[in-house]
Chain A
Amino acid sequence: MDLFGSFALILAFICAVYAFIGGIFAVLTRHPLLVKSTRQAGIATCVLIFLGTLSLEYLFFSDDFSVAYVVAHSNRDLAPFYKIGALWAGQEGSLLFWSFLLAIYVFSALMAYRNKNGELMPYVGVVLAGVQLFFLTLNNFVASPFKALAAPGVGGAMNLVTRADGNGLNGLLQYPEMVIHPPNLYAGYTGFTIPFAFALGALLARYPGEKWIHLTRKWTMIAWGFQSCGILLGAHWAYAVLGWGGYWAWDPVENASLLPWLTGTAFLHSVMMQEKRGMMKVWNVWLVFITFLLCITGTFLTRSGIVASVHAFAQSSIGNWFMGFIVVILLVCLAAYFKNRDYLKSENQLDAMVSRESSFLFNNLILLVSCIAVLSGTLFPVFSEWLSGSRISVGAPFFNKVNIPIGLLLLFLTGVGPLLAWRKTSAESLQRNFAWPLAIGVVGGVVAFALGYRQFYSLVCLALCVFVTATISMEFYRGAKVIRARSGASFVASAVDLTMRNTRRYGGYIVHMGMVLIFVGFAGVAFNKDVQKDMQPGQTMQIGRYTLLLQGTDTKPQKNYTSERMNIEVLRDNKELMMLYPERRRFNIDQPSGTMVAIYSTLKEDLYVVYAGESPETQLPVIHAYLNPLVKWIWFGGAVVVLGTLVALLPNRKSVLVLSAVQQPAALPGQAMTQPFRSTPAMREGHD
């Protein structure tokens, strides 16, 4: 099966070469047969990558320990669920997985548009094939996952060997989220290839109008949704497994996943300027280019260890390949831009400071500043070594200082932007739209202060969260009220109907609501507490309202690991509440042990208990307890963000309620559907 797999990948490489070079000729000659054959070569490339990936997975499931990659990342006792995840546990497999996910996107795009957009697709096909070609080069010639295991035999010659069992999967990865999180994040990284290919293709083809933006809107949202989901799952994994009490540490690899998310978010907003007003064309094209470059940079940072080497240990020559690829992409983008930039001329200019356009402009500016800050902080060691010779790294305070105000500004714009009118907003409409939400926000701030959330940023954050919730609710309320008046249906049914008729706009509001919930969670960080103590059975420790009583310890051998558990009784206000079992897992093969954090989670706060190990002095177990307020809101908000993205992806539906309504006046159905809404202020101004 390893021969089959590597053969499939070689064939995929050859097909990609044809799709790329043939594709360039197809673009130049416009020969219909050549166009068709290169498209089919592109599809064949994808199918072959699927086969290669499946055969690697087959090797994992058949416990084939003659393959080096399987030996390194699996063992016989590994649960089948984790054998799926073992595919991307190492460098070679991760890169193959990148190709695999990219192939899914490319396959779908090539199939979906095979008989459409004949002028544009050959260009898009060339760009896609180029990206695939790069990753297939890595899969085949730099980091092949199908290498056979070899050992020096008699006389020093290398012989193929088969091991009885593998080394097993890194214990830290044996956690359900590690099977879900990487595919999500990778699906985000790879997904931005599609809008990139369309943008570059459209620029090269001088394809008229905003068609490429309409074509790629859903693709961008899909990629963005996966990226958001991946980042949050990663944060949750860090929180629940690593046991340091937090979920985000501004680690280079975390930052790498955030960067394309920031520019991708900016892009999702700024395309609306182009669609509605024909502005920001250059900006949009470059945002897509940069987002894609940051996706590659993210993979590069993760894989090369260029920054991680400051405080970690992975070093790999693969970085040079990525560097080369990034430079090539950048040069191609620059060349395409300078050749065809006249085609990107803006049709309109900004009219007023207080307008929808300017809110988008500031949103983009702030997201971009955040991106630059995170990128420069992450690469600081590299830059400082170039400039001054000494490697200097910056830590969490740097990132927090810049990004907390940015986050709050964005939150503010989330509330303000959607209610501003295009072109210019009148003072009267400002008052009408914002008087109530502002008042409610202020009340929210006062309540938060009274509840004890007395830290400047947290207080501002909570007040803004209330303000934004109020503006979003008002949007739903106004729209639903109109539908209700026409149809007589309940408020909830009207709101659902409203959402389904303009999924993009109201799905977007749901995403905004999810972000608000996430920010509520962030506001809790300032009030985190923790206590650490060496404990003998029978001893207690106090944190906040909770008392932890160590009752005893037990050790249990499991199939793939041995678990050491602390049995801790939790009392709240001196009343018995529950038992918590923080745990350390020692995996049977020489692996670092894994921490299983015990968390008692409520909307108000998480009680987070870690068995941190044995004290070097007293040899007693060390219990580290954290009290983290409001963390649960983040995970809940993440679910809402995903839900909103899904809603926004649905096609718009015609109104069910209004059409089927009984009490409608005797008007034509078409008029009844559109006219009354046009006349309401909410509809007129909040046009997505």
Chain B
Amino acid sequence: MQKRAKFGIGIGVIVASLGCLAWLGYGESKTYYHTIAELPTLHGAAAAHRMRVGGTVETGTIRRLSGRVDFVLEGEGKSLPVSYTGSDPLPDTFVDKSQALVEGSLAPDGRFVAERVQAKCASKYEAAPGGTVAPSSAATNSTQRSGM
């Protein structure tokens, strides 16, 4: 019985500490995903979260200004003005009518400030070519990735 208890404690300590780390990592990196239609319904803390929003780039709305690129995303009949302020060049696939996913936060004036943009050609996209290789941000071109 004592042996079992020892193993139990050992296992418990390992699992608990890893659980703690997981919780910390979760707090650090959680990102909400919202649709454009949902955005106006968010209030308070929910509106201040870091989030991802997906949609289609409205034709003729891409304006390259100094230090930022403005465009309008549309989805489900709603539209969302976006300012991209990241330093990386936008992916080549980012053009009118392309599907884009922006990551950033909502400014008080209702504009979405994006630090990161992923885009893909609307016409063709295949889920992962073959397996491990990221379809999400890989086959689509993104402005930045983070990882190991």
* Residues of A near any B CB (own CB < 8 A): 72, 88-91, 94, 167, 170, 172-173, 178, 181-182, 185-186, 189, 230-231, 234-235, 237-238, 242, 244, 246-254, 256-257, 298, 302-305, 308, 310-314, 316, 350-353, 358, 361-362, 365-366, 369, 373, 381, 390-402, 405-406, 409, 522, 525, 532, 590-593, 612-617, 622, 624
User: How far is it, in angstroms, between the C-alpha of A172 and the C-alpha of B91 when the chains are bound?
Assistant: 14
Contact A395 B31 (CB under 8 A): yes
Q: Is there an interface contact between B89 and A612, defined as CB atoms closer than 8 Å?
A: yes
Asked whether B25 lies within 8 Å of A401 as measured between CB atoms, the reply is yes
Of listed B30, B99, B133, B142, residue having the most chain A CB within 10 A: B133
Q: Contact between B129 and A88 (Cβ–Cβ < 8 Å)? A: yes
CB<8 Å pairs between A and B, sample of 13? A88-B130, A170-B129, A234-B132, A250-B148, A251-B147, A253-B128, A312-B137, A313-B125, A314-B135, A390-B34, A394-B25, A592-B140, A615-B89
**Minimal beta-carbon separation of B54 from chain A (angstroms):** 8
Is B37 an interface residue, CB under 8 A from the partner? no
Which listed residue, A178, A310, A590, touches B121 by the CB 8 Å rule?
Answer: A590
Distance of B90 from chain A, by nearest CB (Å) = 7
Inter-chain CB contacts under 8 Å: number: 248
- Is B87 among interface residues, defined by CB-CB distance under 8 A? yes
Closest CB in chain B relative to A352 CB, distance in Å: 7
Given A392-B33, A397-B29, A400-B25, check contact A406 B133 (CB 8 Å). Answer: no
B112 to chain A, nearest CB (A): 15
A303 — which chain B residues lie within 8 A by C-beta? 127-128
Residues on B with C-beta less than 8 A from A231 are 132
Whether A249 contacts B52 by the Cβ 8 Å rule is no
The residue among B87, B101, B144, B147 with the most chain A CB atoms within 10 A of its own CB is B147
Q: Which residues of B contact A257 (CB under 8 A)?
A: 131-132
Chain B residue numbers with a CB within 8 Å of A366 are 14
Interface range, B side: 35 or more
Nearest chain B CB to A264's CB is how many angstroms away?
Answer: 15
Q: Does A238 contact B134, Cβ atoms closer than 8 Å? A: yes
Question: What is the chain B residue whose CB lies nearest that of A366?
Answer: B14
Tell whether A396 pairs with B131 under 8 Å between CB atoms, given A401-B22, A405-B21.
no
Known: A311-B136, A369-B14. A94 touches B29 (CB 8 A): no
| A17 to B91 Cα, complex, angstroms | 48
Besides A89-B130, A170-B129, A313-B140, 5 other A-B contacts (C-beta < 8 A): A189-B131, A238-B134, A249-B146, A395-B30, A532-B88
Tell me whether B25 and A392 are in contact (CB under 8 A). Answer: no
User: Knowing A91-B126, A365-B11, A614-B89 touch, does A391 contact B144 (C-beta < 8 A)?
Assistant: no
Q: Chain A residues near B25: list those with CB within 8 A.
A: 394, 397-402
Q: How many Å from the CB of A314 to the closest CB on chain B?
A: 4
Measured CA separation A427–B52 after assembly (Å): 56
Chain A residues within an 8 Å CB radius of B28? 397-398, 401
Cβ–Cβ contact B130 & A94, under 8 A:
yes
Instruction: Give the chain A neighbours of B89 by CB distance below 8 A.
Output: 612-616, 622
Q: Which residues of B in the span 88-117 have a Cβ within 8 Å of any Cβ on A? A: 88-93, 99, 101
- Inter-chain contact A252/B136, CB cutoff 8 Å: yes
Contact B141 A592 (CB under 8 A): yes
Distance, CA A591 to CA B121, complexed state (A):
8
Q: Given A90-B126, A302-B127, are A398 and B26 also a contact pair (CB < 8 Å)?
A: yes
Cβ-based interface call for B15 (8 A):
yes
- The smallest C-beta distance from A538 to any residue of chain B, in angstroms, reads 21
CB pair A250–B147 under 8 Å, yes or no, is yes
- Do A353 and B6 have beta carbons less than 8 Å apart? yes
A189 to B11, CA, bound (A): 30
The reply to whether A616 and B64 contact each other, CB–CB distance below 8 Å, is yes
Q: Name the B residues within 8 Å of A409 (CB-CB).
A: 14
With both chains docked as a complex, state the minimum distance between the C-beta of A518 and any C-beta of chain B, in angstroms: 12
Of B11, B66, B91, B126, the most chain A CB neighbours within 10 A belong to B126
Question: In the bound complex, do residue B31 and residue A393 qualify as a contact, i.e. CB atoms below 8 Å apart?
Answer: yes
Tell me the minimal C-beta distance from A73 to chain B in angstroms.
Answer: 8
Given contacts A186-B131, A249-B134, A398-B28, contact A313 B120 (CB under 8 A): yes
- A246 touching B139, Cβ below 8 Å: no
Say whether A249 contacts B131, CB under 8 Å: no
CB neighbours of B17 from chain A (8 A):
405
A182 touches B130 (CB 8 A): yes
Question: What separation, in Å, do the CA atoms of A204 and B139 have in the docked complex?
Answer: 43
Q: A308 and B136: CB pair below 8 A? A: yes
CB–CB B128/A311 < 8 A: no
Q: How many whole Å from A305's CB to the nearest CB in chain B? A: 6
Contact A353 B7 (CB under 8 A): yes
Q: How far, in angstroms, from A234 to B139 measured CA to CA in the complex?
A: 13
Q: Which residues of A contact B148 (CB under 8 A)?
A: 246-250, 396, 400, 522, 525
Nearest CB of chain A from residue B135's CB, rounded to whole Å? 5
By a CB distance below 8 angstroms, the chain B residues around A242 are 134, 138, 145
Collect the chain B residues with CB atoms within 8 Å of residue A308's CB: 127-128, 135-136
From residue A688, how far is it (CB to closest CB) to chain B in Å?
Answer: 24
Q: Which residues of B contact A181 (CB under 8 A)?
A: 130-133
Chain A residues contacting B118 (CB-CB under 8 Å) are 311-312
Q: Which of B8-32 contact A (CB under 8 A)?
A: 10-11, 14-15, 17-18, 21-22, 24-26, 28-32
Residues of A within 8 A of B128 (CB): 253, 302-303, 308, 314
Contact with A along B73-93 (1 / 0, CB 8 A): 000000000000001111111
- B120-A592 in contact (CB<8A): yes
* Contact A254–B30 (Cβ < 8 Å): no
